[in-house]
Every structure is written in structure tokens, then in C-alpha cells.
Amino acid sequence: MPSIWNNKITVSVFGEQDSSSMGVMIGNLPVGEYIDPERITKFMRRMMIPSDGSPAPKPPALRIISGISGDRTTGEPLCVIMQKSGECLTEERKSTVIFPVRGNADYTGTARFRSFSELAEEERYSERISAPLCLAGAICGQILERRRIYTGAHIAQLHNIRDNPFDPVNTTRDAVLSIRNKSFPVINDRRGWLMIDDMKKASQFSETLGGIVECATVNIPTGAGSRLFSGIRNSVALALFSIPSVAGVEFGSGFRSANMTGSQHSDSVYVDGSGRTVTKTNNHGGVIGGFSSGMPLVVRTAFAPMEYRIKKRGSDEILTEPSVVPRLVVCVESAVNIAVMSCMMDYPNFCQVI
């Protein structure tokens, strides 16, 4: 199966859920970039957030095996391996009976490969893709933040409970970074408690819940990006749809634009006190014609509720966690980091060592 993002940078993921390790290889990174392994570990911990909002467990050990010398990129492909605890497929897992469910990847994967070897259990497939994706996103995020480009995400909606949205015009670095240190990734903590309670209720009734993750990137310079297939929206959407369970992606006013007139959707331009050309609203989501407008890049990603079930021999049906949306927040952030990094590679002076 193709597992390669091939743009101005290349991202190749490898490994299996039941193997002792999995990882990612990133090519065409700028030379001489300082990479902090501790920040990568801290970033990875966020994708292991429990659904009840309790502190995340310690992430697997990471090992950088190429592309780094003295904590700086060499220009060669950067390869990172996520070392797991060492156990492979246990006898208990081997005895698991998987029942393909129509409408999910276990069914379509089985139909395609005539086997349960890779895609029969979506949970394994999800982690095999999302963990290496987050590794790449953590590395790209460090390089972008050295250029003052910051990305942050939160649960905008879980089931029918909504969080406060990002300010599409005035979102700042502090606003996107403030969510990272929270045990549950929301802006309004009270809304987060309601979401946690809703997940507990869903678990009691053997239900799963979907949701929406909102992501914002600030300080992308005006003019970054490209036309047609390499535009910022195109690149971000392609990266986001690599995350399992994505049901839809929208930028700025998104689908609400269909209910607007041209005058309502148009963003008025003015020059602020710092001499920057900005807009009073941000219906365009920070991208016009494939290029950054200098306004915050705002994208929302909808996730369908997980539908599959796992059943073991001689036992009742076991349901997976009620919602994977809290753990997918960092995956969305990672995908946007990768896409923005790719779009910035040919921007003037971006690759100069800072």
C-alpha cells in the first residue's frame, strides 16, 4: 500500500500495529535545523490522551537513526523509529475474531486484500498511520515555530456539544499554544467536562461519538503557497484525509458560504496600525487562490463515529473507546504542520538556517 506523502518534502510511514516498532522517514528537510527530541516526545504524548480526560500515559521510546547530527538536520532523510514495549501479537490478540462491518475499513480492506492481514481491524490501521504522522508533524512543527509559524487545534464539537471557536481574525500565538498543556484539548474547560460526561454515557450504552476538530495556524507569510494542485488548501486537505475516519474538511466559513451572498462573504481589506494589510473578517480561511493572505489559516475537520466491533471467542462483544476525537486533535495539528511546511519550502529565505 502507498504510505508516502510526496510534495516539496516527502513523508513515508512504515511499520505495523502489532510489530515492536513503527516510524517515519522525512526527506528534503532544510539543512542545519535544530531538532529537540524531548519536544517530539512531549508532542507524541498528546495523541495518547484518555477519553476520560485523565493524564496521558508515557509514550513509547523514540529513536532517531538518520538525518540528524549534533541535534541538527544533515539534509539526508530523517528517520525516526517509535520503539514499543517489545510485545508483538499476543495469543489473546491472535484469538480475536474480527467481524467485517459494512461502512468501515475492516470490510473494504478485506474485500480489497482478501485477508485480515492488514486492514481487518481499523484500530490497528489507525494507529499505524496516525503515530508516524504525528512524529513527522512534531518535527515540522519545530521548524515552523522557529519561523514564528504556530499551529494549534482543539475539539470544536463532540457529538452535539460545542467548544468556543478560535477567533478567525485575531487568533494569536498564545491562543493556539494555550491548549497544548491541557489534559483535555478544549478552549472552554466547562464544555470539555460536558464532553467527557457525554463520552461516559455513550460508553454505558455501547455507542461511539464523532466530532469536529478545529485547527488554526498563525503568522504564515502573505503569498506563501502555490496555484492549482500545490495550493495551501489542496495540500492541507490531502494531508488531513490521510487520517482515518475523516468525513469532511472545510476552510474559513466553509459550507456556510453556500448560504451567503457575494457581499456577505467578501472580506473587507484595510491596513492596521502596524502597516499590515489585513481583513475585517476571515471567511476565506486565510487562503486566497492557493496562497496565504496573511490571516490565520482556519480549518475544521469532521470525524465520523467509529462503527466497528471486536468480538472474542467465548466472550461478549467488546466496544472500543467511545470517541477517538480527543486523540485525533494532535493528528490534525500534525497534518497541517506537514502541509504548511511543504508549502513554505520554496518561500524566499525560508530554508536559511536560523
Give the pLDDT confidence of 257-312 residue by residue, as tens digits.
Answer: 999 999 999 999 999 888 888 999 999 999 999 999 999 999 999 999 986 555 44
pLDDT of residue 254: 95
| Domain-embedded: residue 261 | yes
E strand or H helix at 72: strand 72-73
pLDDT band at residue 341 using 50, 70 and 90 as cut-offs: very high
pLDDT band at residue 205 using 50, 70 and 90 as cut-offs: confident
| Domain-embedded: residue 354 | no
- Terminal-to-terminal C-alpha distance of the chain: 37
Integer-rounded Cα radius of gyration of the chain:
21
Report if pTM > 0.75.
yes
| Domain-embedded: residue 340 | yes
- The CATH number assigned to the domain holding 102 equals 3.60.150.10
Average pLDDT, integer, range 57-86: 85
Alpha carbon distance 327, 159 (integer Å): 15
pLDDT band at residue 114 using 50, 70 and 90 as cut-offs: low
User: Quick count: other Cβ atoms within 10 Å of Cβ 299?
Assistant: 27
Cβ within 8 Å of residue 211, ≥6 positions away: 155, 156, 157, 158, 159, 302, 303, 323, 325
Average pLDDT, integer, range 63-92: 79
Residue-wise pLDDT for 135-168, tens only, equals 999 999 999 999 999 999 999 999 999 999 999 9
Number of domains in the chain: 1
Q: Where do we find the cell 457581499?
A: 263
| Domain-embedded: residue 349 | no
Cβ within 8 Å of residue 291, ≥6 positions away: 222, 223, 224, 225, 226, 227, 231, 232
| Domain-embedded: residue 350 | no
Q: Read out DSSP for 291-327?
A: EE-SS-EEEEEEEPPP---EEETTS-EE---S--HHH
Is pLDDT at 85 greater than 70 in this prediction? no
Q: Domain span at residue 54?
A: 4-344
Q: Where do we find the cell 475539539?
A: 155
pLDDT of residue 87: 46
**Do 296 and 287 contact (CB within 8 A), yes or no?**
no
